[in-house]
Structure 1
Amino acid sequence: METAYLFFWRRMLDTTFNYGAQVNYLADGTVQFEAPMMPPGKTIHAWTTTKDFEHNLQLAELPILTPGETYALVLNWEVKEDSVFCQIVFTDASGLEVGSEVFEDGKGTFTFPLTATAYEIRLKNMRHEQVVFHYGMIIPVSVYNHFDIAVDLNHALVTFRARKQTDQSQVLGITERSSLTKPLWLPQAARTIFVVAANAKQLLDPQWCQETAAFLKDEFDPAFGSLTVAYQVGRHLGHLRQALRAAFSKKIEK
């Protein structure tokens, strides 16, 4: 089973440039950032693997990666062309930099250095007017090359559709998202993988669960048989399970 990772911009400002900045947090996890007086070259926001829970309740925001493995990075943002770029900085156990990568459009592949133990993703300013950041994903390159990936934040749904349809199965994973970075477990040999990664507030809202179940049914292709539930992880899944059973009318298998 492969694992992809979905991450968001956290609400604390300790890793965000906040001198004269206006930062708006939207309900779906999107962040709007503006700092008209920000100098070029400064970091707008950073995500890190560093933990400092004892002093400031900071948890690691990025997943641990495997040295020598290649990954794809996808940042979903809305920015003016040539106004922002992304940098990944890799460090070793002593904190020394052992490499870096730059992605001008927020997308690309990188190989995690063999000597690295940590890394940081930075949004860097050139001459931005506004940054609208929706989400980021870190994906094993084997998954990235095999699937077309779509994210719908309103329904907390991530869809992976195989480019070469060698298998006709459709599977569903349901997982409760309680942190900024969420692993998305991807069963092997599936044509289409749906992952609902919702927070507790969404899962406790019956209307949201009904709307999400209806949206998932629209994405589902009945020509390829029933939808198999691969896993269910979380404490607050009751409303969503009920909504899915009603929407699919017994077309879901466990």
Structure 2
Amino acid sequence: MTTNIYLKNNFVFKVDWDMNNTTTYTYGAKIGSDVDTFSYSNPMMAQAVKIHTWYSQTSYTHQRFSPTLPLLKSGPNYTINSAYHAFPDKSIFTQIDFFNSYGQKIDNFITDSQQINFNFPDEATSYQINLVNASSQKLVFKSLLIFESTSDVTSYYFDVDRQLILSSNDTNKVVNISFNNCLNHLITMPRDLDINNTKVIVDPYLNFKMLDDILMNNKKELFDKIINYCKMLDSQMLNKKIIFSGYCLFDSVLAILISQLFPSSKVNVCLNFEKLLRLEKELSSSSIEMLLNMISEMYSNEKMG
């Protein structure tokens, strides 16, 4: 059975594993990274030791690094989704510590669940998230997602089983498929859409570096979740032609890439697409040229059709 968590807002904050050594327990550790994952192995590490810590508040003078967690407020419900694989299973705990304005810890909780729902304490002004060792042999980490959640039905929900953010509309009316914008650690979903005929599909773990890897190394498996969902939609669309639409640069690039796997589809990209694409620093020049050639070929095919 699918579990849905509704988003109160149209944005999600993504937290990556920052590479600052002062926040990671490195003694005896074997550490590696790939385009979409961070691996950590330390079989001799004692239990209950913190492997890694993220902070919402720091003193750069003393700690020499900046906060990596968003500021939260008391009252709303929050959800943290942790995307990682621990070996063996359940060998990593997540501990959240809450602090008051004097830096005193006022509350905390610890869990082995990767789906955490909580309220920010009234007296708290900052917090820390820790990954804690519980006899882990290896950890392969993607990201943490933090968003404000609600029990009400809203425009978007997080599908826990698929690990996708989806719009809540009836898929039988869908003509357009759109995606999300990605700006640093902030993932935003479109606000002003014709929600009746546009389905928004968001893989919150994708970013520009992964899109570059898809283009340069043909790693289409990196967006398998979106592809599989699009195929499911395509089978329900009663022979309608899919229109993949982008409203910003990131979703436009996704629209182009995914449309390649749906030969009869059409693509709409954002205004000033070529200009924005040439200015994007996280895409290689080769990837940019490939995308420009793809969109040029699409336009040529439309004219010929």
* Bucket of the pairwise TM-score, normalised by the shorter protein: 0.7 to 0.9
Name the CA distance, whole Å, in 1 between partners of 2:246 and 2:261. 18
Report the RMSD for the aligned CA atoms in angstroms: 3.8
Q: 1:136: how far off?
A: 1.5
Pick the aligned partner of 2:147 from 125, 139, 150.
139
Q: After superposing the two structures, state which structure 1 stretch, 120-129 or 80-89, moved more.
A: 80-89
Q: 1:90: how far off?
A: 1.3
Whose helix proportion is higher, 1 or 2? 2
Aligned residues of 2:85 and 2:139 also touching (Cα < 8 A):
yes
Pick the aligned partner of 1:148 from 123, 145, 159.
159
Match of 1:114 in 2: 122
Counterpart of 1:83, as a letter, is S
Q: 1:205: how far off?
A: 7.2
Q: Structure 2 matches for 1:1-254, cutoff 5 A?
A: 1-28=9-36, 30-52=37-59, 58-79=65-86, 80-142=88-150, 146-149=157-160, 159-162=164-167, 165=170, 168=173, 170-177=177-184, 182-187=185-190, 192-195=199-202, 197-199=206-208, 202-203=211-212, 206-207=215-216, 211=220, 216=226, 219-220=229-230, 221-222=233-234, 223=236, 226-227=242-243, 229=245, 231-232=247-248, 243=257, 249-252=265-268
Q: 1:9: how far off?
A: 1.1
Name the CA distance, whole Å, in 1 between partners of 2:261 and 2:89. 42
TM-score (structure 2 length as normaliser): 0.63
Runs of at least 5 residues in structure 2 that lack an aligned partner in the other structure: 1-8, 271-305
Q: Which is higher, the Rg of structure 1 or of structure 2?
A: 2
Name the CA distance, whole Å, in 1 between partners of 2:256 and 2:134. 48
Q: 1:122: how far off?
A: 0.3
Q: 1:45: how far off?
A: 0.6
Name the CA distance, whole Å, in 2 between partners of 1:232 and 1:54. 37
Name the CA distance, whole Å, in 1 between partners of 2:73 and 2:172. 28
Report how many aligned residue pairs link the two structures.
241
Q: 1:231: how far off?
A: 3.6
Whose strand proportion is higher, 1 or 2? 1
What are the superposed Cα offsets for residues 57-90 of structure 1, whole Å, 9 maximum, x if unpaired? 6232112223211111111222224422111111
Q: 1:185: how far off?
A: 1.3
Name the CA distance, whole Å, in 2 between partners of 1:53 and 1:144. 40
Aligned residues of 1:147 and 1:163 also touching (Cα < 8 A):
no
SS at match of 2:20: coil
Aligned residues of 2:245 and 2:267 also touching (Cα < 8 A):
no
Q: 1:228: how far off?
A: 6.3
SS at match of 2:22: coil
Name the CA distance, whole Å, in 1 between partners of 2:11 and 2:187. 5
What are the superposed Cα offsets for residues 122-161 of structure 1, whole Å, 9 maximum, x if unpaired? 011122222222222112223898431577xxxxxx7323
The 1:185–1:201 alpha-carbon spacing in structure 2 relative to 1, beyond 3 Å, is closer
Name the CA distance, whole Å, in 1 between partners of 2:213 and 2:34. 19
Q: 1:165: how far off?
A: 3.7
Counterpart of 1:101, as a letter, is F
TM-score (structure 1 length as normaliser): 0.74
